[in-house]
Structure 1
């Protein structure tokens, strides 16, 4: 049996709410921008833990630590892209609108996840797929 989700009309965001949400997004982006990321040099990467001649167990640990650091840097870069996308929507007037149905995303949802791209109804439907 398929359940239909009722469309709940959300009031549009006012200027104060938009300013609060924009500030939250900018703060999160600034915090992520301050995180040190391994930089590419000489075609490779400067790794957080240098690999030195040691025992095989130590080498495995160093590789694991470096892999985790690179994975975290990739996650941070992806999160920064999501935040930039949300901030760009302020400029085109699309912030706070669901990218799926075009309806308003509720303020309480945006307070919890200012980068939200979908209203709660569309997000729930997506997660159930």
Structure 2
């Protein structure tokens, strides 16, 4: 890859990380998150709905945190010069694949092999 392509991919990763960080919900004092929907004294059906909504919100927050970790891992690879190299076989990952998924860790052949397992 040429330096322009590398700069473009790094920029994409940084933009995605910033977007995710911008949507992250603030944490309450003590590190505990406030629940998105407060549980109030209501009927059992309403309580079940509130718990479901809170569970979904917490699951989404966990997914967001995992995505941020993946993006940070990809950005760290720029520093050690391993960005764009397959973590399994060491071959270069194609630019078109990296454009679609800048955080890709495997080349298309190794990714296909991993998905078949």
Q: Which TM-score band (shorter chain)?
A: over 0.9
Which of 58, 63, 72 lines up with 1:75 in the alignment? 63
Change (3 A) 1:66 1:38: farther
Which of 55, 63, 84 lines up with 1:96 in the alignment? 84
Runs of at least 5 residues in structure 2 that lack an aligned partner in the other structure: none
Question: If you compute each CA radius of gyration, which structure gives the higher value, 1 or 2?
Answer: 1
**Higher RCO, 1 or 2 (CA under 8 Å, sep at least 6)?**
1
The structure in which a higher percent of residues are helix is 2
Runs of at least 5 residues in structure 1 that lack an aligned partner in the other structure: 1-12
Counterpart of 1:57?
Answer: 45
**Distance in 2 (alpha carbons) for counterparts of 1:79 and 1:101:** 24
TM-score, length basis structure 2:
0.95
Counterpart of 1:87?
Answer: 75
Counterpart of 1:26?
Answer: 14
TM-score, length basis structure 1:
0.86
- Tell me how many residue pairs correspond in the alignment: 117
Q: Shift of the alpha carbon at 1:41?
A: 4.2
